[in-house]
Amino acid sequence: MRKLFLALLFLFCITSVGCAAQEAQPVYLNVASVEVSSFDTTPDWAPLPNVRATVDGSLLTRWSSNYTPGQWITFDFGAPKTLSKIIIFWEQAYAVDYDILISDDNQNWQLLLSLKGQDGNIDETEFASVKARYVKILGTKKVNPDWGISTWEVVLLGPAKDNPGDKPLVGVYPQIAEKLAGIEAPPKEEREEDVGSPGAITPAEFQKGVVYTSWSKTELGSVFSDQTLEYLKELGVRHLGIMVVWFQDEVDQKNIYPDAKDTPDDKALIHAINKAHALGLKVMLKPHVDLKTGQWRGDIIPSAEWFASYKNYILYYAKLASLYNVELFSIGTELVNITTAQWQPQWEGIITEIRKIYSGPLVYSANWNEYAEVGFWDKLDYVGIDAYFALTTEKDPTKEELIAGWKNNAILLDDWLKQSKIDKPVIFTEVGYSSADGTNIQPWSVFSNLSETAVDQEEQADALDAMLAVCTTYSWFKGLYWWNYFPQERWSPLGYTIRGKKAEEVFSEWLKKL
């Protein structure tokens, strides 16, 4: 109760003129410049190399170091200031142990604090006031030795009386102030009430979606996820495919389980569904099974015991989808070894059980080379394809060549639909290209080395444009979900995400036309 009172008092003070307690609030110390030891350059998780990302007031931008020990970030106030509190918003790659140092000349450093055994998330550290021009955060132990260290935002605060040129945090970055005020309130243990659906997805409706991906327990429930969903709506997205992942240890493992850190918990997942609905976005829930070995899920070896575990997993999310008005449910993703004729009775049994729980339309997300082998399309409402079809054998194809490649694939798909007499709308439950040179040759390939692979945003944009130019001419094509967007955007020089890239401009223009 005391924590809740303090939070309410803080919010009252930051919004009320003349509140006496406001005088006691520290001020935000503006930073003149930032210096870092290094930047992460990996293709799929590295943010944009921006030294000021940690002092820009945005919980969607971050700094991430390379993976060697001893990484640091230094803040220069431009002149000596009085410091009394530091707040660090850590990304998943946080420092378990770190030192905070101060200096007047950026050469001779004095240890201010040495923090041990930290658990990430948000660190708030108060101390006796000190005067300094430079502040350095030096990582001494990382949560994962194979990662770097990464922060979304660093807030440096000091007494108002000693820093007359600076303002309270709420006057500089109000969203950060509100976020911090909310920390004091006790967490709600109960689930959110459901938000009504903006409407069912009809067979004739064109689905304009993205796959929303998080390997984090709480990220989908965060304020930065809310901001990203608002951004997607402004972009023109109207359908959100939310991925939720469970794991198994080996390809022949019979038990599928949620991971304590990497599986979105129900609270976060429900919040994302509700936020999407509040924005008028319709939701596809898309369960995935990932392997702890890093192997592809298509290599999983099925068994009766595996199906029993999978049934429990998929029915759990079917029930959640029903409770929270999810408009479309995917019964599986890219399980190539498991959708053969041998296992069709198990799939039909699972579909029957899902129908008892969930009344909305169903889809299966088949791999691009799997769809023709799936024998239970007649039991579903959509044919779903993760459409990573090869387009050409050229690293630098023309737009015309990319269009020709998509025409070939669309003709094969059209012929299959006619010959198999499957009268179902088709959606691409995933489709995407990395922003790497040659991505059209093997769109499913992940490029991991910037020193070996050239960045090519033009090819990514052209391949997307070619796909929509061709597929929208077929009556069976009823939508796509672009792979992928993150709740907190990780800049990805070679990766699939298109946020801030040329392909996003193409995507936005198509969303307006469709």
For 30-80, the DSSP string reads --SEEEES-----TTTPPP--TTGGGSS-TT--EE--SSSS-EEEEEEEEE
Q: Is there a domain that residue 9 lies in?
A: no
Does 356 lie in the same domain as 231?
yes
CA angle in degrees (0–180, nearest 5) for 28-34-39? 130
CATH code for the domain in which residue 359 is found: 3.20.20.80
pLDDT interval class at 20 (50, 70, 90): very low
Q: Which pLDDT score, from 0 to 100, does residue 24 have?
A: 62
Min mean pLDDT across 190-204, 284-298, 497-511 is at 190-204
Does 232 lie in the same domain as 163?
no
Q: Which pLDDT score, from 0 to 100, does residue 44 have?
A: 66
Q: Is there a domain that residue 5 lies in?
A: no
Average pLDDT over the chain reads 91
Pick from 354, 299, 356: nearest CA to 364: 354
Q: Is there a domain that residue 290 lies in?
A: yes
Q: Is there a domain that residue 194 lies in?
A: no
Residue 295: how many other CB atoms lie within 10 Å: 12
pLDDT one-digit tens code per residue, 360-398: 999 999 999 999 999 999 999 999 999 999 999 999 999
Q: Is there a domain that residue 193 lies in?
A: no
Does 385 lie in the same domain as 243?
yes
Please, are residues 209 and 239 in contact by the beta-carbon 8 Å criterion? yes
- Checking if the pLDDT of 300 tops 80, the result is yes
Q: Which residues pair with 151 in a beta bridge?
A: 63, 90
Q: Which of 167, 196, 225 is the last residue of a domain?
A: 167
Please, are residues 386 and 443 in contact by the beta-carbon 8 Å criterion? no
Does 241 lie in the same domain as 103?
no
pLDDT one-digit tens code per residue, 218-249: 999 998 899 999 999 999 999 999 999 999 99
Cα end-to-end span (Å), the chain: 51
- Checking if the pLDDT of 174 tops 80, the result is yes
Q: Which pLDDT score, from 0 to 100, does residue 8 have?
A: 39
Pick from 291, 299, 376, 381: nearest CA to 340: 376
Does 306 lie in the same domain as 161?
no
What pTM did the predictor assign? 0.77
Mean pLDDT computed over 471-494: 91
Q: Is there a domain that residue 186 lies in?
A: no
pLDDT one-digit tens code per residue, 398-434: 999 999 999 999 999 999 999 999 999 999 999 999 9
- Checking if the pLDDT of 185 tops 80, the result is no
Dist CA 15 CA 12 (whole Å): 5
Q: Which pLDDT score, from 0 to 100, does residue 319 have?
A: 96
Does 398 lie in the same domain as 446?
yes
Does 93 lie in the same domain as 233?
no
Q: Is there a domain that residue 178 lies in?
A: no
Structural domains of the chain, count = 2
- Checking if the pLDDT of 181 tops 80, the result is no
Does 294 lie in the same domain as 386?
yes
Mean pLDDT computed over 426-452: 93
- Checking if the pLDDT of 261 tops 80, the result is yes
Q: Is there a domain that residue 177 lies in?
A: no
3-state SS class at 13: helix
Q: Which pLDDT score, from 0 to 100, does residue 182 have?
A: 62
Does 296 lie in the same domain as 420?
yes
Does 146 lie in the same domain as 277?
no
pLDDT interval class at 5 (50, 70, 90): very low
Q: Which of 167, 188, 223 is the last residue of a domain?
A: 167
pLDDT one-digit tens code per residue, 319-368: 999 999 999 999 999 999 999 999 999 999 999 999 999 999 999 999 99
Does 108 lie in the same domain as 212?
no
User: Residue 37's domain spans which residues?
Assistant: 26-167
Half-sphere exposure of 179 (CA within 13 A, CB side): 22
CATH code for the domain in which residue 70 is found: 2.60.120.260
Give Cα 351 distance to the centre of its chain.
29
For residue 73, give every residue at least 6 positions away whose Cβ sits within 8 Å of its Cβ, in sequence order, or none.
34, 35, 36, 37, 54, 63, 65, 136, 137, 151, 154
Does 215 lie in the same domain as 158?
no
Pick from 471, 399, 395, 398: nearest CA to 437: 395
